Structure 1
Amino acid sequence: MTIYFYKVWQPFGCFSNFSTHGIEIQGTYWSTVEHYYQAQKFVGSVDAVIIPVIRAAKTPEEAAALGRCTSRRLRSDWDLVKISVMREAILKKFLTHLDIQATLLSTGNEILVENSPTDYFWGCGVDKTGHNHLGKVLMSVREEIRNLQLSNAISPKICPQEYKV
């Protein structure tokens, strides 16, 4: 069974970048993955001054609107790095918040699909022909967390503090 997610108040809403599961990356706290992702669009660009404004946005919707403003110039390598930026944030989110990590792992090997009717890159789009990169990132993170748990479970426990991840 494929698992579709989109709005934070729907089942599996914790998979949304708008869910209120903050992350800390490189010593900076971000209220949501959406805040972090939108701000990263401007790192090193002439419009980098918008980054603290995005970080301070009261809601993920506000952060998204600030990051999607077409009058600002994105960093030159954005198309090359945006998936890895998203993956870093999502991995951090699910390693930080064990409750939603359990939800992610509970999906087994099911296909995860962001059911966005308008986003054909991160989601599946209204006609389900989109690339679903967000779902793919989540499935990749799910697998990485499983592998981390497995490697911790089979590591020798002679001196446990040496084997913590």
Structure 2
Amino acid sequence: MTIYFYKVSDPYGCFSNFSPHSIDLGGRNWQTVEHYYQAHKFLGTTDEPLMVAIRNAPTPEEAAQLGRDLARTCRPDWPLVKTVVMREAVLTKFLTHADIQQILLATGDESIVEDSPRDYFWGCGLDKTGQNHLGQILMSVREEIRHR
């Protein structure tokens, strides 16, 4: 049985990058994976000062909005490193929070899919043909944690 997730309030909502599970990475605390991910789009750019505003955004929705501002200069290597940045944050989240680590491990060998109707890169998209990179990262993190 495939496990679908999307909204924080839904079953398996802890798999969402918007879930209220903080992480410590790079010597800083990030309220959510979404805060960390969106901020790192600007590392090493003229818009790097925006990282502070994103880290301090009151909600992951606001962090995402700031990070998706097309008027800002995204780092040129972002297409190459974004999945690495995401995996590091997701792994840290599940190593930090034992309660959700157990939820992830309890999924066994089931496929995990971000059921985003709009995102065909991180999720499966409306027609379920998306690349589901977030689901793939979660399954990879699950496997790594099992073997620690």
Q: Is the TM value for this pair above 0.5? A: yes
Mapped to 2, the partners of 1:31 and 1:137 lie a distance apart of 20
Q: TM-score, normalised by structure 1?
A: 0.89
Count of residues in correspondence between the two structures: 148
Matched residue, 1:67: 67
CA RMSD of the aligned region, Å? 0.4
- Which structure's CA Rg is the greater one? 1
The question of 1:5 aligning with 2:5 is answered yes
Structure 1 stretches of 4+ with a deviation exceeding 2 A read none
The answer to which structure, 1 or 2, has the higher relative contact order (CA under 8 A, 6+ apart) is 2
Q: Note the C-alpha offset of 1:135.
A: 0.0
The one-letter amino acid paired with 2:116 is: S
Identity %: 66
Q: TM-score, normalised by structure 2?
A: 0.99
Matched residue, 1:131: 131
CA offsets 1:96-137 (integer angstroms, 9 cap, x no match) = 000000000000000000000000000000000000000000
Gaps of 5+ in 1: 149-165
Higher helix share: 1
Mapped to 1, the partners of 2:56 and 2:123 lie a distance apart of 26
Matched residue, 1:144: 144
**How is 1:16-165 mapped onto 2 (pairs within 5 angstroms)?**
16-148=16-148
Mapped to 2, the partners of 1:141 and 1:94 lie a distance apart of 8
Matched residue, 1:155: none
